[in-house]
Structure 1
Amino acid sequence: GKKSEKRLNLSKLDCPLLLDPSCGSDVCLEKQLEKFEWQLRTLKEVLSANGNAARAELLKGHAHEEVCALVNSILDKVKTETTADLNVSFEQKSKATSEEHERRVEGTTATVTILQLLLFGQVEALTSELQVYNELKRRVKESTLKRDLKRNIQGMLAHGSPGAFWESEQESLLFVIEMKAEQVEDMYQSRQQLSKEQQELKLALDPQLSLNQRLSQEKEQLVFKIRHRDSYPSMHLSAMVPEIAPR
């Protein structure tokens, strides 16, 4: 159960506060009863004290071995049970934190991988198209047809106006060149936009990657503490066990 719901059970402790069965007279029984009631008041007063220092001061004032032994027995039992509960709670929280961290890392890694594949695919497609166009442009530039056409047009211009056929061919060639130039410009703009989106995606993912790294470090620290907690000195009672408040 929760620590706040715990109640002290004196029947489970080696409680020395018992009436002496060998005492048969009424006077003896009355004295035993008075002693028993005094010990109970002392025990209640000590356990209701605020803090270990106050309890120790009260015990020092009473200086009764049976009361001291009973209080120490109760505190040891509470400390043992509370420490066990804290260990279980710590292990459960550590396990839950580790599982949550692994789920977040797996989800983030999958998302980043998918986005990278999409961006790389688009960049590779545009790069391939640009290479094809550059190769076509080079071949057109170096082709014999272009050189011959240019030579024929220059020759006709030297001897008079070219005919309608050559004018039509020249217009068609200029149209094709302008169309290809527009396509190159479009591909360049698309590539610039993809580069910008890739940079924005990288900036957006950097904080998440930093968070994953911090969670990974925290997970390693938790696992280390769990595996080596028995090697550390016992924590102070005030850090491990809440103050015993009066019920």
Structure 2
Amino acid sequence: MNPIDISTSGLGKVKSTRPCPSNMKSMERELHCPVCTEMVKQPIILPCQHSVCLLCAAEVLIQRGYPPPDLPPEPNSPAASPNTRSPRGARRPPPKTTDRLDRVLRPGFGTYPGRRRKDMSPAPMLFPCPSCHKEVELGERGLTDCLRNLTLERIVERYRHTVSLGSVAIMCGFCKAPQSLEATKGCADCRSNFCNECFKLYHPWGTLRSQHEHILPTNNFRPKSLSL
């Protein structure tokens, strides 16, 4: 009894479920700053619970007309403390080219109202969050009151380290979630990765698929060379 209908569900299913590249890209996008679209650096948590790079947040505020905010020291400096709130520092970011901020500072978010009458309290400092598209009130101390997202910072560090070592696990594309197993082999003909059990299931003995070329798990399947 043949457990797989090769003529119908075979290669079609294999081609439609290539797992790892998209999963890794999706994970990487979660680690990107919504302002600069790069890996977050010194991320801070806004009152709306979204995170952005500290310098990106400073640039956005400067572009809106707010004075340059006081920023904490760099993480590697002696004054930086990883277990406390971000302290005030002496460094101020210079204004930069802001092409990348256009999508954040678009019409609808408004601008800083400027100096108000002396008998009125100062207007609250507002930040246009690019993730939820809301005007987030930062308070009188601005970015100083925002906590560092230390958890996200550590995740980014570990992700960079893992990618640099080339040891990102390649998962089987046919195990049913959430119990996906790590792939033990790839199939050059199916162009997909399998654990041992799934490879046996989709390459039953005595069928054409059992003659497929199996290789090490990979995210970059190369076209098979044609023999003349």
Does TM, normalized by the shorter one, top 0.5? no
RCO higher in 1 or 2 (8 Å CA, sep ≥ 6)? 1
TM-score (structure 2 length as normaliser): 0.28
After TM superposition, the score normalised by the length of structure 1 is 0.27
Larger strand proportion, structure 1 or 2?
2
Structure richer in helix, relative to its length: 1
